Each structure stands twice: as structure tokens, then as C-alpha cells.
Amino acid sequence: MQGTAQTVMNAANPDAKLADFNIKKMIGRGTFGKVYIVEHSVDKQLYAMKCIRKDLVLENQQIENINLEKNILHSNNHPFLVRMEYVFQNDFRIYFIMQFVKGGELFKHLVQVKRFTEEQAKFFAAQVALGLSQLHSQKILYRDLKPENVLVGEDGYLMLADFGLAKLVQEGEIANSFCGTAEYLAPEMLIGNGHDHTVDWWALGILVYEMIVGIPPFFHRNKHKMYHFIKESKVNFPDPERHKISVSSSAQDLILKLLDKNKATRLGKDGVDEILAHPWFATLNKEKLLAK
């Protein structure tokens, strides 16, 4: 898509401007700018404000990506995806005003407890799967699943955030760009032979393993070795005696089917219901979960 950063603003909310918000503190920085907690000066509601520098967006030819991110945030109304409340701009920056999710990153909670119980992991994994499925239903690949991009609400439910690497693909289309976080990359991303929505199900397998075991399955400090393990090695589970970590046989089976190196046979190729029908999720009530 050609054009300028102005294009991003087609669905801007004309009722909001920067002066309406008081900045509380900076909570993060991304490739194209910073993220702040802000308070609306009238209703005192807290939001997360993402400030995106237009010069960097243009320099990196990211207009299409920022536009897609805006559209995802602006149009979605799903319990497990972060939503945008306002979007506006000035000469130098675009501002995304999003729900502020109080519990912070799932990563922070995982670090604190080292590992989740399988019941907790199941509760979290199902929400992530349903959030991903919502994106897939709109032909969007998420491509950046990791505990840092999963936020925990005050109510204990999760939301996927940060759609900066998302990509819109048409029916039967294969994506080819190399992106994501090292530990979560799928083999097809590393080999470079194209990827589709199943790349997100691979990442879900990594996430489930990390939540239960406390470390991603192919982790190695040397990135080249880690990439080799992702492409070539089988998944190893900790020894319950030696490591004092036990992973149930049904959890192991689910993880192995999600971490199928062949995307054509990977669990989830036919959609989320295939994943949630796995015995590990037998106790799950999808409707109740969606209704929180």
C-alpha cells in the first residue's frame, strides 16, 4: 500500500485529542515509539497510550502494518483481544489509546511463580487459542505470541496485545517474511519456505510447554543452536524424579501435536475446535470461558 502515515487515520475518532489525556508513566517502548499509562482528564479512566513516530513508520515502510494493527485494535470486540478506544494524530505522531490491562504481562506472573499448574496453564491456553482463532477468522496471522504479549486483566482473564507483526493473508496465500521472537519461531519460519495460520499454533505449543515447565522447549543461549534444535530436535520433557516437574501424558500429547515440525499435519490446521477437542481440554466449557 502506497501513501503516507496519514492513511492510517481513516477511522480516527474525531472526539479525542492528546490534551484530553494526562500522562502517568511510561510502561514500555517499541520499535516505533513509547507506551504510557494515561488518564482521561474527564472520566479519570486509565488507558494505555501507544505513541507511534511517523518518521520511523515511513522510514521502515511500515504503513501497511500500522494500518492493520489499527484496524485489528479498532474493530475487534473479543474478550481475549485488547481493544482500542481512540485513535488520533498530530504532525509527528499517531496515538493509539487502548484498554489498560491492570495485571500486566503474563510473563511477569510466570517469572514470579516459575511454573503454572496444568489447570492454570489450560485456563490460559484456551483463552489464547480462542483469541488467535478470532484473528484467523479475519484472515490475520498474529505471529508474535509470547508471554510478554499476553496481558492479565484484573478479573484474571487474558488478552492478546501488540499486533505489530500481524499479517493479513488471503485464502490459500502463504506469508514469507521472517519475524517473531527466537524461542517461539516455527521451523517453517526458519527454513523460509512460507508460513500460514499454523505458525500461531506452533507458538501456542511453545507457550503451553513454557507455562508448565518454566522454560521454552528448544531454549539455548546460543541462537544458532536454538534454531538448529527448533528445526531438528524432538521435544524433551523434564524427568519427574530428577527435575521435580511432571507433565501429564495428555499435556505432553497436546504439546507434541502442536509442535509438529510439519505444518500440514500440525494440530490446529483445521481450526481451533480441533485443538480444544483434544483430551487435555476435556474439562473446558468454551461458552462459559467466552462469557467469562
Q: What is the mean pLDDT of the chain?
A: 88
| pLDDT given for residue 174 in this prediction | 76
Report the pLDDT value the prediction gives residue 157, as an integer from 0 to 100. Answer: 94
Does the pLDDT of residue 285 top 80, yes or no?
yes
What's the mean pLDDT in 179-188?
86
Say what the pLDDT of residue 14 is.
Answer: 52
Cα Rg of the chain, angstroms: 19
| Least confident segment among 69-83, 96-110, 160-174, 198-212 | 160-174
Backbone angles phi, psi at 160, to 5 degrees: -80, 140
Query: For position 2, what pLDDT does the model report?
Result: 40
What pLDDT shows up at residue 34?
Answer: 87
pLDDT of amino acid 43: 86
What average pLDDT does this structure show over 64-86?
84
Residue 217 above 80 pLDDT? yes
List, as own/partner pairs, every contact residues 138-142 make where C-beta atoms lie below 8 angstroms and the sequence separation is at least 24, other chains included.
138/72, 139/168, 139/169, 139/170, 139/171, 140/68, 140/72, 140/166, 140/167, 140/168, 140/169, 141/166, 141/167, 141/169, 141/175, 141/195, 141/196, 141/197, 141/199, 141/200, 142/166, 142/200, 142/203
Enumerate the active-site residues. Answer: 144
Model confidence pLDDT, tens digit, residues 115-170:
999 999 999 999 999 999 999 998 899 999 999 999 999 889 999 988 878 888 87
Domains of the chain: 5-99 (3.30.200.20), 106-290 (1.10.510.10)
14-18, 55-59, 94-98, 251-255: lowest mean pLDDT where? Answer: 14-18
Q: Pick the range with the lowest mean pLDDT from 74-83, 203-212, 243-252.
A: 74-83
* Rounded mean pLDDT, 180-198: 88
Q: What angle do CA 135, 139, 7 make, to 5 degrees?
A: 90
Of 52-66, 95-109, 228-242, the one with minimum mean pLDDT is: 52-66
Q: Please state, in angstroms and rounded to a whole number, the distance separating the CA atoms of residues 169 and 286.
A: 27
The pLDDT of residue 1:
36
Q: Over the stretch 3-40, which tens digit does the pLDDT of each residue have?
A: 454 444 444 455 788 889 999 999 887 777 888 999 99
Residue range 38-50: average pLDDT?
91
From CA 23, how far away is CA 20, in angstroms rounded?
A: 10
Specify the residue for cell string 524427568.
239
